[in-house]
Amino acid sequence: MERFDLKLNGKIAMVSGGSRPGGISQRVIEALVYEGVSVGFADIDPRGKDLETRLRSEGGKCLFVQSDMRDPKDVEVFIHEILDSYGSPHILVNCAGGAKDCGGPTLRETNLEHLISAFIYNLAPPFNLVKTVFPYMCDVDGDKSCILIGSVNGSIGFLGELSYSTAKQGMEGMMRTLASEYSPYLDNVKLDRSIFLT
């Protein structure tokens, strides 16, 4: 992967996700590590260990913690593993989420359980992360950024993805509120809703 010298060398980052080969979170982690960032990343899938092993063999600094970002207790374990290994983070990237168990192709086949599942799957991880990690980020010197990976679904909607699109729109409200609340402490709180081909 090409290095762009983004002036991130020596920074510390936390990323949710990282186990799916070629996925968004894995590419984010690789890019940060190649820029000299010490990266802690967490995923419920144990394959994240493979990425940790590969990046470390290439000289990168990273630590994989197998955990479920929907569970506040797991997020507490994650942050303390990173604090002990690297220190307080300057960068937080939430990639956790997806369209799993979000319902049928139309409103007729979608029920309340599907909607709740989409909210838990897509909104609980960023909520748990920012609630747990932001207090530590606020005390760090230097530039600090939080990026929530959203979806174009949340802006324009897609046929057959009612629950998922609704949850992703919720991320935009979360981001805007956090940006207002934490503007005195963090330099950037952003939502990326680009179309990614993975």
Interatomic CA distance for residues 10 and 153, integer angstroms:
35
Whole-angstrom distance, CA of residue 148 vs CA of residue 146: 7
Residue of 65, 4, 19, 70 lying closest to 39 (CA atoms): 65
**CATH of region 12-98+125-151+174-192:** 3.40.50.720
* Tens-digit pLDDT profile for residues 124-147: 999 999 999 999 999 999 899 999
- What is the reported pTM? 0.90
pLDDT for the residue 106: 79
**Nearest of 62, 150, 25 to residue 99 by alpha carbon:** 150
Judge whether 62 and 33 are in contact, CB under 8 Å: yes
- Tens of pLDDT, residue by residue over 147-184, are 999 888 777 777 678 888 888 899 999 999 999 999 88
Provide the 8-state DSSP code for 46: T
Pairing of strands 38-43, 62-66: parallel
pLDDT at 67: 96
Q: Is the pLDDT of residue 197 over 80?
A: no
Question: Quick check: 190 pLDDT over 70?
Answer: yes
- pLDDT score for 130: 96
Task: Report the candidate in 23, 87, 11, 12 with the shortest Cα–Cα distance to residue 51.
Answer: 23
